[in-house]
A and B are shown apart, each in its own frame.
Chain A
Amino acid sequence: KAGVTQTPRYLIKTRGQQVTLSCSPISGHRSVSWYQQTPGQGLQFLFEYFSETQRNKGNFPGRFSGRQFSNSRSEMNVSTLELGDSALYLCASCGSHTDEKLFFGSGTQLSVL
């Protein structure tokens, strides 16, 4: 069974640009959540999608958005990139409820220059 797949693995952008990251959950998983990880702030929850609807949201500005498709694949978009957005962006999936075990992808390393 394939794990959580995130693409691209690495990304370099410049300030002001926008970026879209992709996440394919484990087959059968309907919940996809996104996280930002930086050396200074550690892991922080961005948002969670379930059945194409945002179910939970962390404390991030509106520049960070996401969506989920009918096949449970999810995308995350960051607009008007800032230097501080440089981070490892992780996606995780689980069956239906976030009390279940989360399975993480290897992440997308975003560098904003």
Chain B
Amino acid sequence: KNQVEQSPQSLIILEGKNCTLQCNYTVSPFSNLRWYKQDTGRGPVSLTIMTFSENTKSNGRYTATLDADTKQSSLHITASQLSDSASYICVVSADNDMRFGAGTRLTVKP
């Protein structure tokens, strides 16, 4: 069964700290993996897209890694800001299938 599991479910950190969110998947055959940020009441915004041959991709303070062998991805946020408070969703695509993780709810406190 094609699944995407994210951890932790929720996370609270202090402003300025770093954090890492995890995404494990069993989707096959793998096409690409995306990380999205979704603010409350808004649609998701793309952070990174990685294909099979890419193992790291950065977007400002966001760095995503991919290990296609172990089927794991992580999203690392550096020097967190209050505006990083949001849900972060991992999405894995197969040929004609797209599976979403349940998301990690990140809260950054001052």
Contact = CB atoms under 8 A, between A and B. Distances in A.
Interface of A: 4, 42-45, 56, 58, 90, 92, 98-99, 101-107
Interface in B78-103: 89, 91, 93, 96-98, 100-103
B49 interface: yes
Contact of A44 (B31, B32, B42, B100): B100
B45 interface: yes
B42 A106 contact: yes
Interface residues of B, number: 21
Interface string B51-74: 100000000000000000000000
A67 B69 CA distance: 39
B44 to A, nearest CB: 5
A105 B43 contact: yes
B110 to A, nearest CB: 27
B28 interface: no
Interface of B: 31-32, 34, 41-46, 49, 51, 89, 91, 93, 96-98, 100-103
Contact of A45 (B31, B98, B101, B102): B98
A54 B42 CA distance: 26
Contact of A43 (B31, B96, B100): B100
B93 A107 contact: no
A102 B41 contact: no
Contacts of A92: 43
Contacts of B89: 42-43
26 contacts: A42-B101, A42-B102, A43-B89, A43-B91, A43-B100, A44-B100, A45-B97, A45-B98, A45-B100, A56-B96, A58-B98, A90-B44, A92-B43, A98-B93, A98-B98, A99-B93, A102-B44, A102-B46, A104-B43, A104-B44, A104-B45, A105-B43, A106-B41, A106-B42, A106-B43, A107-B43
Contacts of B93: 98-99
Contacts of A43: 44, 89, 91, 100
A104 B41 CA distance: 12
